[in-house]
Amino acid sequence: MKRHWILRGLKISFFVVLAATGLSFVVMALWNRLMPVVFGLHAISFWQALGLLVLSKILFRGWGPAFATHWRQRMRERWEQMTPEEREKFRAGMRGGCGPFGSSQVAPKA
């Protein structure tokens, strides 16, 4: 059983390295094709492209459903704690859209 988990971990690691390598080459190719011509910047190497990917991960927390999963779990917990009346009020609010922009009803002026 332990061997199965080790093999699975190695497979996942292999695909992560493969994806990072592929994405780095794509970033490098796009950067070197566009940035010197458009903005007059220098071409970058593979390692600099990989560094840009890591930096973007740190700054923007992209590349995965971690935020969406966390948000969905929090909403599910909140939904379970609501009373039936609160749920219906929430549904009605969602049907109404986002304020006066998403619904046919315009909020009254004060």
User: Which residues, including other chains, have CB under 8 Å from residue 59's CB and lie 6 or more apart?
Assistant: none
pLDDT category of residue 104 using cuts at 50, 70 and 90: low
Please give the Cα distance from 42 to 89 (Å, whole number): 56
Same domain flag for 55 and 8: yes
Note whether residue 104 is domain-resident: no
Looking at the predicted structure, is the pLDDT value of residue 19 above 70?
yes
- Give tens-digit pLDDT for 47-99: 999 999 889 888 887 555 665 677 788 888 998 999 999 988 888 888 876 65
Q: What is the pLDDT of residue 98?
A: 61
Same domain flag for 28 and 69: no
Count how many Cα atoms sit within 13 Å of the Cα of residue 65 in the half-sphere of its side chain.
Answer: 3
Where is 15: in which H helix or E strand? Answer: helix 2-39
Note whether residue 102 is domain-resident: no
User: How many helices (H) and strands (E) are present in the chain, helices listed first?
Assistant: 5, 0
